Structure 1
Amino acid sequence: MDSEQPSFADVEYGYRRRVSKREQFLEQMEATIPWQVWIDLIEPYYYLDRPGKTGRKAKPLAMMLRMYLLQVWFNLSDEGVEDAIYDSFAMRRFLGVDFTVEQVPDATTLLHFRHLLEKHQLGQRLLAAQNDLFEREGWIMRGGTIVDATIIAAPSSTKNAAGARDPEMHQTRKGNQWYFGMKAHIGTDAGTGYVHSVTATAANVSDITEAVHLMRPDDTAGWGDAGYLGVDKREEITGDPHLAGVTWHIAARKSQLARMHPHERAIESRKAGVRAKVEHAFLIVKRDFGFTKTRYRGLAKNLHHLHVAFALANWLMRARAVALTMAAA
C-alpha cells in the first residue's frame, strides 16, 4: 500500500543490503490477503462518511484494517502498535503512511475500530469469507474434520481496576500443572489443515463438548485426540441425523499403546499423522503471532481475536504452501 510518489525514506531504504524478516513477512501477506474482499465486508459498518458527525475525519478503512492486522500479527497493545509503526519502516510502508502528509492513527482510533469489528462480529465473518474463497479456489478437500483445543492463559492476578480475576475464565489441570484461562477449540480441514471453525470456552470445559460445533454439514469423518473418546455416543451427536453417521477416528489413551498389537499401533500412527495437521494452526497463532495469553477480558473479545488470528494463520499456511510449490518447480 505504498503512496504513488516514493518518499525520501523509501529511497534511502532502497539501498539496504538486507531485508528484515519482518519486512519479508509483511510483503508476503501484502501479496496474499484478498484485501478488497475484506474491505468490502467491513465497509457497510465503517463510518468513513459520517453525515452530521463532527470531529476528526475518519481514517481510510484500508489503513485501519492494516493497522489492526499488525496488532494481531505482532501481539501488540493499541499504544504498542502505534509506537511500533513509528519505529519500523516495514510497518510504516505496509500501512501506507507518508509522514509528510499524515500521521499514524492513534491508539484510541484503533481501539474504536476494534470495537466496531467486535460489535458486528466481523472477525467471524472474515474467517467465513476466507473459507468461502478457499472453497471456490478448490484449496479445501472437504470430507473430514480434525478437532482439537488448546489452553490460552489469562492473567490470574487480582491487582487490577476490578480487583478480581476475569469471571469468564477458569482454572483447569493438564497433567500435573494448573492453568487459569480459556480454551480455543478449532475444527480444521483434514486434508489441508486449514481452520474452518473456532469456538471459545472457559479452560475447565471439556474438549468433547465442543465437537458438535466444529464439524461441517458435509463431513463424513472426524479425528481427535484421546480427549474426544466417546464423542460418538454423546446425545448431541447421536441426536443429529448427519453427525450420527460420521466415522470417528479417535486416538487411544497412551496407557493402552504398550498393550496393543503392532497392527493396532500402526493404525494409531496413521491417526496421529492426520491429527498432526491441526497443530500447525495452533503453532502459528501461539508461537508466530504470540497469542499465548489473553489480551482482553471476557470470552467474546478473545474469540473475535481468535477468529481473525486463525483466518490469518490460514493465509500464512497458504502462502507457505505456494512458496514450497514454486521452489520445487
Structure 2
Amino acid sequence: MVQRSIGQERFGFSGPERKTSSLDTLVSLIDWHAVAALLDPLYPASKGEPAWPPLAMFKALLLSIWYDLSDVKLAEALDDRASFRRFCGFSANEATPERTAFVRFRRLLVAHQLDRSLFETVTMQLKAKAVTVKTGTLVDATIIASASEDDDDARWVKHKRKRAVHGFKAHVGADADTALVEEVSVTSANINDGKAGPGALPDNPGEVFADSAYRGNHFCDAVLAKGGIPRIVATGMWGRDEAETLRKLHEWNKPIHRVRARIEKIFGTWKRCYGLRRMRWRGLAKAAVQVHLTAIAYNLKRTMNILSVPA
C-alpha cells in the first residue's frame, strides 16, 4: 500500500518562534530509522488508498501512553497540538489520522507480532546511550486488570487482604542501576511468579534481586544458567539459636528489600501516569502489545531523564 507523504510545510507568513518541549528531545534520542524498518512490512500492498506512515502511527501510540489518551482524545490532540504534530512528523497544516486509523494500526501490530521486536530494538539503543557497568537486575511482576471480565485469556487471582482481580500479569526485569526495563513477559494473572520469572531475565543479569515468590529451583536455576547470582528474599532459616537465626535472616533480606523496592517505582509510573491500571483491549496478544508499548514509552522518558542529569 502506498504511504502518504507527510511533514511538508505550506508557504505562509512566519509566525512567532515555536516553543520547544520534551517531545523535541525525545525525537533525537534514538535512530528512528531502525524502528521504521521493522514497521515497513505492515503495508505491503502497492495499491489502494495511501496509508499513514507506520512510524508516525507508532509515535502517536507512544503519545497516547505518555498522556493517557484514548483513541478519540489522541486524534483530537494530534490535530490540535503543535508539539504532537512535530513529534509524529506532521506539518502544521496537514490532516492527521482519525480514531479508526489507530485501531487498524494496532491490529496490524498484533497480527505481525511486532511489539516485542519494537521493544528490543528501542531498548537496545537506549541501553547504549545510558551505558553503565552492569551490576544487577530487578525482577518482579504486577497484576493489571482486564478490559472486561468476559476476556477469556484473563484469569482471576487474589492476594491476602486484597480483593480478587480478573486480569493479566506483567513480569519485568529491569536494570538495578538505571531502572531501564530490559525484559518483559505477559501472562494471565494466575501464573506463578517463579514459574514465569525466567521470561523476565536478560542475558548476563548479574545479581538478581527478587521477592520470596521467586524462591525455588525453577527460577534460581534459570538465573544461574544465564550467569547470574540469585538474591532472593528468604522466608526462613535453620539455626539452633532463634535470636541468632532471626538476625541472620534480617541481614540477608534487608539489602535485597532495599534494592528490589526500586522496581515498584516503575510499576507506579506505569499505572499512575501511563494508564496501565487496566488493559484497554481484550486478549493476551493485545495485552502484550499494551505492556510492550508502555515499557518502550517508559524507557524513552527514563533515558531522557538520565541523560539530562550532569555527570
Q: TM-score, normalised by structure 1?
A: 0.78
In the alignment, is residue 187 of structure 1 matched against residue 173 of structure 2? Answer: yes
Match for residue 225 of structure 2?
A: 243
Q: What SS does structure 2 have at the residue aligned with 1:191?
A: coil
Does the aligned pair in 2 maintain the 1:149–1:183 contact within 8 Å?
yes
Superposed displacement of residue 241, structure 1: 9.6
The whole-number CA distance in structure 2 between the counterparts of 1:182 and 1:277 is 22
Given that residues 223 and 271 in structure 1 are in contact (C-alpha distance below 8 angstroms), is that contact kept between their aligned partners in structure 2? yes
Is the 2:147–2:281 Cα contact (8 Å) retained in structure 1?
no
Give the superposition deviation at 1:123. 1.6
Q: Which residue type is aligned with residue 251 of structure 1? A: V
Give the superposition deviation at 1:263. Answer: 5.9
Which residue does the alignment assign to 1:29? Answer: 26
Distance 1:137 1:253, change over 3 A: same
Tell me whether 1:11 sits opposite 2:15 in the alignment.
yes
**Superposition deviation, residue 211 in structure 1:** 1.4
Partner of 2:193: 207
Pair 1:271 & 2:263 matched: no
Distance 2:31 2:269 in 1: 20
Counterpart CA distance in 2 for 1:112 and 1:91 is 20
Q: Corresponding residue for 1:50? A: 45
Query: 1:183–1:203: 8 Å Cα contact kept in structure 2?
Result: yes
1:112 counterpart residue number: 104
Match of 2:38 among 31, 37, 41: 41
Which residue of structure 1 lines up, in the alignment, with residue 214 of structure 2? Answer: 228
**Residue aligned with 1:219, SS:** coil
Residue type of the partner of 1:317?
A: R
Quick one: which amino acid aligns to residue 122 of structure 1?
Answer: L
CA contact (8 A) 1:7 1:98 kept: no
Structure 2 letter corresponding to 1:11: G
Displacement of 1:96: 3.7
Partner residue in 2 for 1:86: 79
Other-structure match for 1:292: 277
Tell whether the 8 Å contact from 1:140 to 1:194 is kept in structure 2 after alignment: no
1:74 aligns with 2:74: no
- Structure 2 contact 151–283 (Cα < 8 Å) conserved: yes
The alpha carbon displacement at 1:133 in A equals: 2.2
Q: What is the CA distance between 1:124 and its match in structure 2?
A: 0.6
Say if 1:188 and 1:194, in contact at 8 Å, map to a contact too: yes
- State the AA in 2 paired with 1:77: S
Aligned partner of residue 205 in structure 2, secondary structure? coil
Q: In structure 1, what is the Cα distance between the partners aligned to 2:24 and 2:234?
A: 43
- Judged with a 3 Å threshold, the aligned counterparts in structure 2 of structure 1 residues 137 and 319 are, in CA distance, closer, same or farther, namely closer
Rounded to whole Å, the distance in 2 between the matches of 1:132 and 1:99 is 32
Do the aligned residues in 2 keep the contact of 1:67 with 1:95 (CA within 8 Å)? yes
What is the aligned length?
Answer: 300
Aligned counterparts of 1:173 and 1:33: Cα–Cα separation in 2: 40
C-alpha distance in 1 between matches for 2:138 and 2:223: 20
Whether the 8 Å contact between 1:217 and 1:242 is mirrored in structure 2 is no
Determine helix, strand or coil for the equivalent of 1:315: helix
For the pair 1:166 / 2:159, whether they are aligned, the reply is: no
- Percent identical among aligned pairs is 27
Cα shift at 1:140? 5.1
* TM-score normalised according to structure 2 size: 0.82
Question: Is the 2:215–2:232 contact (alpha carbons within 8 Å) kept by the matching residues of 1?
Answer: yes
Q: 2:286 aligns with which of 293, 301, 316?
A: 301
Aligned to 2:138, which of 146, 158, 169? 146
Q: Which amino acid aligns with 1:34?
A: D
Instruction: State the Cα distance separating 1:302 from its structure 2 match.
Output: 1.1
Q: Distance in 1 between matches of 2:89 and 2:28?
A: 14
Question: Which letter maps to 1:316?
Answer: K
| 1:187–1:214 contact (8 Å) kept in structure 2 | yes
SS at 2:64's partner residue?
helix
CA RMSD of aligned residues (A): 3.2
Residue type of the partner of 2:194? I
Q: What is the alpha-carbon distance in structure 1 between the residues aligned to residue 128 and residue 265 of structure 2?
A: 23
State the partner residue of 1:59: 52
Give structure 2 stretches of 5+ with no counterpart: 1-5, 237-241
